[in-house]
Structure 1
Amino acid sequence: MIARLHRKAIAASLTLALAGFATTALAGNGQAALDMGVAASTTPTHVTLVLKLHNQAQLENYIQQTVTPGTAHFQQFLTTRQFAQQYGATDAEIARVQAFLKKQGLTGQVLANHMAIQTTGTLDQFSKAFQAPIHTYVSRTSGQSFHSPASGLVLPADLANIVEHVNGLNNGTKYRSHRITAPKISGLHLAVTPTTLSKTASGNPTATGVPGQYTVGDVANLYNINPLYQRGVTGKGSTVAIVTLSNFIPADAQTYWDAIGLTTKPNRITQIHVDGGGVLDGGSGETALDVEQSGGLAPDANVLVYDAPNAGTGFTDAFLQAVSDNQADSISTSWGSPEIFNFAALNTDGASATDTSDVGDLRTFHQILLEAAVQGQSVFAASGDSGAYDTVRGLGNGTAPGDFTAPLTVDSPASDPYMTAAGGTTTPVTFSDSSGAPVLSISQESVWGWDYLLPFASKSALFAVGGGGGVSVYWREPFYQRFTRGIRRSESKQSLVFNDPQAGPTTLLTLPSHFNGRNVPDISLNADPETGYLVYSSTDNPTSFLSEGGTSFVAPQLNGISALLTQSIGHRVGFWNPQIYLLQNIFGGSHWSPFNDIRSGDNWFYAGKPGYEPGAGIGTLNVTNLDTFLHAGL
């Protein structure tokens, strides 16, 4: 008996349409890419078979106990070996998968966590193994060439309950880094007046006080980190990991730290090249800024950089390795893609997805994050830079032939319930005209959304740039958000419509209305490029520093902050979300709260207000207050 991993017709049309924009690519009906026929049979390909976890309900309960004071397993994190023994695939199950691979002339390497088997072979071998022809496709818009199965994969019945996902046969998947530069608006200038805090004894000496040229020292000033430094808390003894899809030049990070006058631990960066590693390309600046920010806020922490190709199994394999190695106390990534790119198993009436065969990447990340949580590893992901409309940067907004409408959507893997999603704010800033007269002022930290610039630029130039946030339409509301004021359900009448140049508007996916989904982000920090940061990347500009922003900065900043907290409290912080939502529910925006409530601004849909909102989440951090509560075991 053979079990077929099927796709619904709507999934085929959606995923292929997205393939034309180099975002995700699964074979389908040829709507936006040309089928060039069977791919070259000898093409070498890396494939990862993700294995299903055991006792997942028990695992989730154990995770909750690790961060709940008074429970039997509070702060009793597992090793990778313990995780494999209690929740990973059994030796017998692994043997069955390896026997299947051996029959195909393939050998598999089993990860220590017993969650994945990695193998390399030719497209012809995999096509025969999974009884699916693998074709080459060429995007009609970008010209990108990629290969992908032309039909659903077929697995032997005895493996159907063992294998969660077969990853790597589609090499068209591309994730996006979440960094961005400020728009060039004629006649509008930052009225730069360095803040006095950086010049006082209480301020950080590496800060500039200049919006758009902030450093990690300014982050310390803004979010009350300096008292930890004054106690000697610098991340000593802790390790941060960066998961990224581009290689970088490690000396760039040291150049940044030296330039701002920051003393750091020497020889602290270790690179781990996964699946052959990433390449030096346009994403290398992303990796550089991730290391600069996380390692800058925790100057004595060790830094592990897991880089992989931005295709096929790269992203999930890099995460698998970082978590299975279990060397890092905290992990961050600033890459992602709209959640709806990863699944299309929605009924046309808007009912929620239940068929996980179409959500392999989402399920894979979920299993990885469950392992990280039970091992006490804190994990952070950027929530995106397209405000409440996460597809806009990749697909457009439906106003031109060949692009798509902009439904309210969130970014993945930030949307996973076991990920801490990093959102974005705008710090106080004043703009002047060419004569120096002030014309726009933001007086308090606000949800980041560039609609505040609409008086000076067209909507088409600004929409929908802002801090990513909204409601997942796949992951249900997690336990830690159930009693939080401000949690929202998904909006009605949200559809992804392709503006087909020939056929006209074509509805590809109708999203579920009023879905009780996971809300993102969780925590935000300054991310607006207008109030952004200096970064150095010799691959982008070898002669000078760049000024950038985006939630790409926030995820590694939280990573570095977590490293400081790890040293301060003497052990791993563990899964942040249950702990921070409990504190929010108890203390709200009071004077002693570890959070600064964000009550103004918006991300083009969700506005800042008291309590939680899917614009800035709980709010920003008061790190010293958070450290105090963690010390108290709350």
Structure 2
Amino acid sequence: MFAKLHRKSLSLSLGLLLTGVSAGAWAAQAAPAVDAGVAPSNQNVHVTLFLKLHNEAALESYIQETVTPGSPHYRQFLTTSQFAQQYGATDAEIARVQSYLRSQGLSSEVLPSHLAIRTSGTLAQYGNLFQTSIHNYVSRDNGRSFHKPSSTPQLPSAIADVVDVATGLSNEKAYRPHHVSMPAFTSFGAANAKTNALAAKSSGSSGGNPTASGVPGQYTVGDVANFYDINPLYQRGIVGNGSTTCIVTLSNFYPSDATAYWSDIGLTTKPNRITLVPVDGGGAIDGGSGETSIDVEQAGGIAPYADVIVYHAPNAGNGFVDAFAQSVTDNTCDSISTSWGSPEIFNFAALNVTGASNTDTTDVGDLRAFHKIFLEAAVQGQSLFAASGDSGAYDTVRGLGVGTGAGQFTAPLTVDSPASDPFITAAGGTTTPFNYSFGTGPTQSITQESVWGWDYLQNYFDTYIGKGVVNLFSSGGGGGVSVYWHTPFYQAFTHGIRRSEKDQSLVYNDPSAGPTTLLKLPGHFEGRNVPDISLNADPETGYVFVSTVDGGLASGEGGTSFVAPQLNGITALLVQSSGHRIGLWNPQVYFLQDIFGYGWFSPFKSVRAGDNWFYYGAPHYNQGAGIGALDVANLDVFLRSGF
């Protein structure tokens, strides 16, 4: 299928490794910015009000029962209307909020789940509503402009007992796609890859799947099937028939990219199965469009006869939250994945509220809004997946200048959101076995599936190329310990679960004021551990994909953005095979691993080698790879049996 591409000489820079939002844009979210005054009062924006749930503890208990064999509510998932009736805001509460909004001149639309109300109005109206002033700001780092409240917004007392979170008052935050390219080698340039990568047709001799390439850096969904024992499902005719898999993304894309990818690898798929659903006006065709192409190609390639719905929204304000909310309240999706995220700590008051203490980890961002959406999805039986990030154990590094120079930040141990939420499955990254050599150095090998972290390359370059030539810190699979979400019930008895490390701080070396501690993270916090499940994500053992905005065919691509949609597609297969939705993966897979371990019949393969720059592989749960990689055929047997 793919002509083999040879890499021997080296030309690297850290900037070539990063994709998506520029480092400057990310730095603007953490570094102080210059207040440019009150934003135009007549500027129209959309703000979503998330309403308080009723009986939230009972809701979490019910979710646990839906995925617990022997429970009277096992697999008794709710409809959207049932969720609204049992846990959403009441009609009277909603009417009161809408009446108040009308009195302020704001229009509103209620989600069918009774979980949220979308509103529209001007910045002046929202400033009045939340007793604050919306100002424009300019980043001191790169001149980027954005608006946000100049003081902490206050919920009006008339509706404070119903409304929990308001999102969209600021457009400062931009999420990033979790996609990383192979380092750029002079003998392995993009043009060479695009010319040669689809030059040959696979003979099917690379592991049983005829669409596989067998070539690291040019892997396809067929190779994923070979690695993780998916082929037995295909042999039974399990191809995703009757399932609907959904992508939540912040860039639009060209559906022809996906159909070209499937056609080029020789994969037969259901025709006309991609539906685009714009939310809040939809996402743009831009630098993030390749991420959406990856997501659709991977999810739809793993499950070639599943329907694919793409919910896309602008990468600003409440776009991400709204797109997720729409995908869940529509309740058409059996499984949903996203490959976008941001450091969990970027939501904390210490980084968002003027005058807040640098120890204030109160959520003033979107964490609670996402959590409510994910609870609804879980009780409706929808399986959710999020990429855990591509900066190893140091999630802020990929977007912030890290070091000791002026205008740079320190690198605390951090995790990514929304993957850190306990009601979504966090997709981590591994490196599959391969041989590698660069420059005049010797050939070395990764001999077993390992936690993905590029320190193995860093050591090679330092030894054989020269220290200081390249800096790969800290590319690798995201993982660690949340300092916001507590350890969930399904991790309570899992060997290897850890608390957060002590003495972790985000410090900005202000060019004018010197080092400034922006946030001190809680130490020894009993937090949610991520990731949960990991699959191959290292670009060195990575994939091809097709993206028009990236010039067509790209090789040597990776990141946990491949893993989340792969798990999404795997779920579509499991839905067809079992005849029902799978629901929240986490309680089910942790139970199976806790009881059955890693025997030959286990659904999991332990990841014992490698590291993500801090956390190491182990013969049990670890913060580099979670409970390990999958054996999908074995997992299918357990799920069909009701274990």
Could you tell me the TM-score, scaled by structure 2's length?
0.90
SS at match of 2:461: coil
Deviation, 1:158, is 3.0
Structure 1 counterpart of 2:493, which letter? F
Task: Assess if the C-alpha contact under 8 Å between 1:185 and 1:456 holds in 2.
Answer: no
Task: Assess if the C-alpha contact under 8 Å between 2:132 and 2:150 holds in 1.
Answer: yes
Confirm whether residue 623 of structure 1 aligns to residue 632 of structure 2: yes
Aligned to 2:55: 55
Aligned to 1:10: none
Confirm whether residue 283 of structure 1 aligns to residue 288 of structure 2: yes
For residues 313 and 350 of structure 1, do their structure 2 counterparts lie closer, same or farther at Cα, with a shift above 3 Å needed? closer
Aligned residue runs from structure 1 range 214-363, under 5 A = 214-344=219-349, 353=361, 355=362, 358-363=363-368
Structure 1 counterpart of 2:550, which letter? D
For residues 138 and 345 of structure 1, do their structure 2 counterparts lie closer, same or farther at Cα, with a shift above 3 Å needed? closer
Structure 1 counterpart of 2:435, which letter? T
Deviation, 1:352, is 8.1
Aligned to 1:446: 450
| Structure-2 separation of matches of 1:390 and 1:613 | 17
Task: Assess if the C-alpha contact under 8 Å between 1:430 and 1:438 holds in 2.
Answer: no
SS at match of 1:547: strand
5+ long unaligned stretches in structure 2: 1-20
Aligned to 1:155: 155
SS at match of 2:258: helix
Aligned identity (percent) is 66
| Structure-2 separation of matches of 1:325 and 1:188 | 44
For residues 198 and 87 of structure 1, do their structure 2 counterparts lie closer, same or farther at Cα, with a shift above 3 Å needed? farther
Structure 2 counterpart of 1:265, which letter? K
| Structure-1 separation of matches of 2:569 and 2:217 | 21
Task: Assess if the C-alpha contact under 8 Å between 1:198 and 1:209 holds in 2.
Answer: no
Task: Assess if the C-alpha contact under 8 Å between 1:536 and 1:545 holds in 2.
Answer: yes
Deviations 1:182-233 (A, max 9, x none): 113579999x9xxxx9734961000000000000000000000000000000
Structure 2 counterpart of 1:597, which letter? S
Task: Assess if the C-alpha contact under 8 Å between 2:204 and 2:211 holds in 1.
Answer: no
Confirm whether residue 493 of structure 1 aligns to residue 516 of structure 2: no
| Structure-1 separation of matches of 2:571 and 2:42 | 46
Aligned to 1:79: 79
| Structure-2 separation of matches of 1:252 and 1:597 | 35
Aligned residue runs from structure 1 range 79-118, under 5 A = 79-118=79-118
Deviations 1:418-473 (A, max 9, x none): 010000000111113457x8422111110000000122155762000000000000
Task: Assess if the C-alpha contact under 8 Å between 1:342 and 1:359 holds in 2.
Answer: yes
5+ long unaligned stretches in structure 1: 1-17
| Structure-2 separation of matches of 1:592 and 1:164 | 46
Structure 2 counterpart of 1:114, which letter? H
Pairing partner for 1:22 from 22, 25, 30: 25
Task: Assess if the C-alpha contact under 8 Å between 1:500 and 1:506 holds in 2.
Answer: yes
Confirm whether residue 573 of structure 1 aligns to residue 576 of structure 2: no
Deviations 1:576-625 (A, max 9, x none): 00000001001111111100100000000000011000000000000000
Which segment drifts farther, 458-467 or 315-324? 458-467
| Structure-2 separation of matches of 1:602 and 1:442 | 12
Aligned residue runs from structure 1 range 568-607, under 5 A = 568-607=577-616
For residues 171 and 188 of structure 1, do their structure 2 counterparts lie closer, same or farther at Cα, with a shift above 3 Å needed? closer
SS at match of 2:120: strand
| Structure-1 separation of matches of 2:515 and 2:163 | 38
Aligned residue runs from structure 1 range 421-460, under 5 A = 421-434=426-439, 438-454=442-458, 455-456=460-461
State the Cα RMSD in Å.
Answer: 2.4
Deviations 1:249-274 (A, max 9, x none): 01110000000000000000000000
Aligned to 1:11: none
Aligned to 2:531: 521
SS at match of 1:392: coil
| Structure-2 separation of matches of 1:185 and 1:400 | 28
Task: Assess if the C-alpha contact under 8 Å between 1:344 and 1:509 holds in 2.
Answer: no
| Structure-2 separation of matches of 1:198 and 1:591 | 29
| Structure-2 separation of matches of 1:476 and 1:558 | 24
SS at match of 1:579: helix
| Structure-2 separation of matches of 1:19 and 1:91 | 44
Give the paired residue count.
Answer: 605
| Structure-2 separation of matches of 1:307 and 1:483 | 38
Q: Which runs of 4+ in 1 moved over 6 A?
A: 186-190, 346-352
SS at match of 2:261: helix
Structure 2 counterpart of 1:50, which letter? F
Aligned residue runs from structure 1 range 21-40, under 5 A = 21-23=24-26, 32-40=32-40
| Structure-1 separation of matches of 2:594 and 2:358 | 32
Task: Assess if the C-alpha contact under 8 Å between 2:407 and 2:510 holds in 1.
Answer: yes
Structure 1 counterpart of 2:478, which letter? G
Confirm whether residue 382 of structure 1 aligns to residue 365 of structure 2: no
Structure 2 counterpart of 1:439, which letter? T
| Structure-2 separation of matches of 1:539 and 1:149 | 35
Task: Assess if the C-alpha contact under 8 Å between 2:182 and 2:539 holds in 1.
Answer: yes
Could you tell me the TM-score, scaled by structure 1's length?
0.92
For residues 24 and 376 of structure 1, do their structure 2 counterparts lie closer, same or farther at Cα, with a shift above 3 Å needed? farther
Aligned to 1:15: none
Aligned to 1:409: 414
| Structure-2 separation of matches of 1:327 and 1:126 | 33
| Structure-2 separation of matches of 1:99 and 1:266 | 46
Deviation, 1:349, is 9.9
| Structure-2 separation of matches of 1:588 and 1:412 | 28
Deviation, 1:360, is 3.8
Structure 2 counterpart of 1:131, which letter? Q
